[in-house]
Amino acid sequence: MNNYVDALAAPMKNNGTIKLYGADAFAGMRKASRLTAQCLDELAAIVAPGVTTRQIDDFVFGFAMDNGIYPATLNYRGYTHSCCTSINHVVCHGIPGDKPLREGEIVNIDVTFVVDGWHGDSSRMYPVGEIKRSAERLIEVTYNSLMLGIEAAKPGNHTGNIGAAIQEYAESERCSVVRDFCGHGVGQLFHDAPNILHYGRPGEGVALVPGMIFTIEPMINLGRPGVKVLADGWTAVTRDRSLSAQFEHTIGITDTGCEIFTISPAGYTIPPYL
């Protein structure tokens, strides 16, 4: 039903075919993703009340320059920053700026580095000082959603199994799944086929086979799932202004399951990152 093609023989552009990658690509993705994860680890010590998201963005840019690598978002489709910083009811694609973070806020930082042509894409939630129990719970539910999706990412399953695992759990926790943004194939392209929906049913979508590489990046809301994009053309917010959280990993399908490329070298999972 779906078209898969050996990534080495495929045209680079996203023409809807699903690329299957070999050992060299997996090694490239491992290296790129590790640097992304290391940057996210280091950001744990930087996020604090009074810090601006521009300072966070400057750190990500500096990290990239220090390592001779490139932030994929910089000059991507007109975006001019090295990461996305999505605060509170911002669902994704928050633009770094000069407003200081305040105690009690939660912020997602989404970083993608290009290393030797390979893209490592990951995001995590960071609490700003002490946060409310409801925010803490949303962060836990969102992290668990991602990890349940990852558990479903294995040969024999379809992309729909990933979405179903996430949706079933998140909704059982009285949270909602954002429909307007999805995970994506990734590799030498930032955004490639297939789309990875964070809702759905088992058996729907694309069959998962060894060699596929993609992100899973559920956005989970405390309120209703609806989002709108602000006039800046990027910032997506919940329509009901309820709190939203997201975690993202880049993974590769193996013979027995999947490899998480963007796993934290420091061993961080959910905050507090100690």
Output the smallest distance, CB 255 to ligand MF3, in A.
27
Q: Which of 112, 242 has the CB closer to Co ion? A: 112
Supply the minimum distance, in Å, between the C-beta of residue 154 and Co ion: 20
Q: Which is nearer to ligand MF3, 105 or 121 (CB)?
A: 121
| C-alpha atoms less than 13 angstroms from C-alpha of 236 in its C-beta half-sphere | 18
Say if CB 135 and CB 106 are below 8 A apart: yes
Q: Quote the least distance from Cβ 236 to ligand MF3, whole Å.
A: 9
Q: What phi and psi, each to the nearest 5 degrees, are found at residue 206? A: -95, 135
Q: Closest separation between CB of residue 102 and ligand MF3, Å?
A: 23
Nearer to ligand MF3, 131 or 198 (CB): 198
> How does 238-248 read in b/e, with b if 16+ C-beta sit within 10 Å?
beeebbbbbbb
Give the footprint of ligand MF3 on this chain (CB under 6 A): 73, 76-77, 79, 84, 93, 110, 112, 121, 217, 234, 248
Which partner, ligand MF3, Co ion, none, binds residue 76 by CB below 5 to 8 Å per kind? ligand MF3
Residue 57 interacts with, from ligand MF3, Co ion, none (CB under 5-8 Å by kind): none
Tell me how far apart the 2 most distant CA atoms of the chain are, in Å.
52
Residue 177 pairs in a beta bridge with 220
Sole residue written with tokens 């956005």:
219
Min CB(184)–ligand MF3 separation in Å: 6
Q: Residue 73: which of Co ion, ligand MF3, none does it interact with, CB under 5 to 8 A by kind?
A: ligand MF3
User: Can you list the alpha helix ranges (DSSP code H) found in the chain?
Assistant: 23-43, 53-66, 133-151, 159-172
Question: What is the rounded distance in angstroms from the CA atom of residue 129 to the CA atom of residue 102?
Answer: 8
